[in-house]
Amino acid sequence: MYSNEKKNGFSVLDLLVKIIFAAIFIFILIWLFQKKIPNVNMTPFYSNVFRENIKYMQEAGESYFTNDKLPTVSGESVKLTLEEMERLNLVLPFVDQDGNACNKTESYVSITKLEGDLGYELKTNLVCGKESNFTVKTLGCHVYCPNNGVKCDCNCGTKKCSYEKVTEYQFKKLVSGTKVKYSCDKKYSLKGKYCYKMVLEDTKSALVTKTREKTLTQDAKLITEDAKYNLLKTVVTPVTDTKDATPVTSTDVKMATPVVTTDTKDATPEKVKYTCTKVKTETRCTTRTVKNPYSCNCKTTIVRGKSTTTCDTCYETVQVQDCKDVEVEYDDECTKTVYNCKKYDGYTLSGKKCIKEITTYNCNKYSGYTLDGNKCKKTTTTYNCNKYSGYTLDGKKCKKTTNTYSCPKGTDVQEGSGANLKCYQVIAGKTYYKCTDSTYTLSGTKCYKVVSETYTDKDCSKYKGYVLEGDKCKLYKTDKVKAKVTKTSTSSYSYKWSTSKELSGWTATGKTRTVKGKKVCK
């Protein structure tokens, strides 16, 4: 019986041997990737990992958005970030090709209600390191019927469809590769596999003296000769100027309502061996010496025909053994069953169960607020015209009405401007305009003269290849050197779902999920 227990268990030595062999195997794999196949292109594999991850997000989002979570107004969207999906255990944490976690706030799944009865549009956006992309899936005329959230086709009222439930098992595989990094010394900039630096080769002055024409303007002088004036009514025209008002966005933040649920899974039983104390019965004896009497030196005499025998009493020494049964403790090897939650991340052991408290958040008690992590946020936009002097707010516009002043038809003479403009009609005599400086030329009520002036400008156009910097023209040449190459080993897990319980070359993670299988309509 003891021999059988020994075969079914394992010793510490067995475990150490297995660990050593596994370490040697991983070391050989890394050495092969570095030495034998240094130019392996891992890009197709990493792209496949990215595609698989975005596919998992899309499938998880499609199963999450049931009837009670769908937008009800055309054009309205509901968004679920990767951080929220992980918190709800809809997906496992994603990593990029360097083993870093994907962006949990910029990665999301959103669903938008299309116009009319065209269904919904599911968008999946994933950002992992430098790689980002998205997919869009139109759910068509499908709707989520109230009957247990089963997805139906267009004639949901008369013909109901459902999908068979299929259990998928998750597997993982450790993939090793080599990451190549290029770098440059200070003052050099990296581009591809080379480093570049601009080196100053020559400097010239950029200051150039130039000549340009300038038109001078003067008001002509009004000359009157025996004129009589009739004051006319000035024409006042209101003009409204409209500008976009300045939007001011304010965000009110409240604590979201936490909802704690408990997830329970069966703990994993494991048989372990330990040294235990047992009791057995042994017979223990003690020996002692005693003197036993016996008859000796006997003599027989006959008196009157009667025989009489007399003896002395002698003693002999003998050993007597006393024995009794006693219980004795001894050490033995025993087996017992213990339970653990090693395969469930974040779970704690309680008896034979693994328990994990999951906290989700909602904003149900706040009207108009949306959930952002564990906060409820509501954004309000107001408008103002603070940056426009004299303008008043009208909706989302800033308006200002000003008057323009002009003289009516038949005006011969006008004086002043704006609100001080006066318009006259000459009813006798004559009036005309004249330039007080004979070097000017009269045009209407203005006098003009074109003059030349000399000024200093900055110009490098006559120097081929030179660029202007301040008041200098500088010529640069490009210094190009090869970038420094650093190679590092990388390893990351690739994840895959399968309906098979075992996959060659893959290790089961212990996680399962239920997905839709064949469509059945009744």
* Whether residue 69 is found in the same domain as residue 152: yes
* Whether residue 53 is found in the same domain as residue 173: yes
Q: Is residue 368 part of a domain?
A: no
The long-range contacts involving 8-17, CB below 8 angstroms and separated by at least 24 positions, are: 8/271, 9/271, 9/273, 9/335, 11/273
Tokens of 49: 């990992």
* Whether residue 159 is found in the same domain as residue 71: yes
Q: Is 255 helix (H, G, I), strand (E, B) or coil?
A: strand
Number of H helices, E strands in the chain: 4, 30
Kind and range of the H or E run holding 2: helix 2-8
State percent of the chain over pLDDT 90.
26
What number of other Cβ atoms are within 10 A of residue 49's Cβ? 23
Q: Is residue 488 part of a domain?
A: no
Q: Is residue 349 part of a domain?
A: no
* Whether residue 441 is found in the same domain as residue 469: no
- Its sign, for the CA torsion 184, 190, 194, 200, is negative
Name which of 329, 359, 162 is nearest 259 in CA terms.
Answer: 359
Residues 6+ apart with CB under 8 A from 420: none
Q: Is residue 378 part of a domain?
A: no
Domain total in the chain:
5
pLDDT at 70: 85
* Whether residue 66 is found in the same domain as residue 164: yes
| Separation CA 508–CA 293 (nearest Å) | 86
Q: Is residue 155 part of a domain?
A: yes
Q: Is residue 199 part of a domain?
A: yes
* Whether residue 331 is found in the same domain as residue 395: no
* Residues β-bridged to residue 399: 242, 392
* Whether residue 80 is found in the same domain as residue 127: yes
Tokens of 156: 């949901």
pLDDT at 332: 86
pLDDT at 96: 67
Mean pLDDT of the chain, nearest integer: 82
pLDDT at 5: 40
Tokens of 519: 């469509």
pLDDT at 491: 83
Least-confidence region, from 167-176, 193-202, 318-327 = 318-327
DSSP string, 214-246: EEEEEEPEEEEEEEEEEEEPPEEEEEEEEEEPE
* Whether residue 421 is found in the same domain as residue 467: no
What digits encode the pLDDT tens for the residues 248-302? 998 999 999 999 898 999 999 998 888 888 888 888 888 888 888 888 888 878 8
Q: Is 31 helix (H, G, I), strand (E, B) or coil?
A: helix
Q: Is residue 373 part of a domain?
A: no
pTM, entire model = 0.27
* Whether residue 223 is found in the same domain as residue 165: no
Q: Does residue 348 contact residue 341 with C-beta atoms inside 8 Å?
A: yes
Name which of 256, 255, 252 is nearest 381 in CA terms.
Answer: 252
* Whether residue 48 is found in the same domain as residue 176: yes
The boundaries of the domain holding residue 148 are: 43-181+495-521
Q: Is residue 251 part of a domain?
A: no
DSSP string, 478-506: EEEEEPEEEEEEEEEEEEEEESSS--TT-
* Whether residue 424 is found in the same domain as residue 512: no
DSSP string, 279-312: EEEEEEEEEEEEEEEEEEEEEEEEETTEEEEEEE
| Separation CA 246–CA 249 (nearest Å) | 10
* Whether residue 61 is found in the same domain as residue 130: yes
| Separation CA 20–CA 11 (nearest Å) | 15
What digits encode the pLDDT tens for the residues 149-170? 444 444 444 456 677 888 999 9
pLDDT at 159: 53
